[in-house]
Amino acid sequence: MSANPIIQMAIINILFLIVGMFLDLGPAVVILAPIVTPVMVQLDFDPLHFAMVMLVNVNIGNATPPMGMTLMVASQIGEVPYEKGMREVLPFLFALLVALILVSHIPEITLWVSRILALSWR
């Protein structure tokens, strides 16, 4: 990959966003987590942080076309045509991508709860 952790995380984000566009959350995690997690741990990423980044990526991918399973279900529930739902979800996808960038590159966002709980158990 690369020696730069920012580039490593960007590659992983792109990979999991693409996977999330075509696979549901369960199969994507079952297939890719055992392969990619040891590599990311070896590259000094926290496993909990990586798991959160992976789940956020796949969830965002599930809401985006071409497959967009979450978007399909939401349009069926709201009785809205899929094409109209795609247009309406774009601002939310932009906000989710900004949140993904923050979660990916600032591990403290995902790890603060576990750190607080770890301190209280001692």
Over residues 69-78, the pLDDT tens digits come to 888 888 899 9
The mean per-residue pLDDT over the stretch 43-48 comes to 90
- The token pair at 98 is 């900004």
Q: Provide the pLDDT for residue 121.
A: 55
Whether residue 58 contacts residue 28, with contact meaning beta carbons closer than 8 Å, is answered with: yes
Q: Where are the domains of the chain?
A: 5-120
Give the CA-trace dihedral at 106, 107, 108, 110, to 10 degrees: 110
Cα separation values, 14 from 26, 45, 92, 120, Å: 18, 17, 18, 36
Q: Provide the pLDDT for residue 113.
A: 85
Q: Provide the pLDDT for residue 101.
A: 94
The Cα–Cα gap between 53 and 59 comes to 10
The mean per-residue pLDDT over the stretch 106-111 comes to 90
| Model confidence pLDDT, tens digit, residues 16-33 | 999 999 988 899 999 999
Amino acid found at 121: W
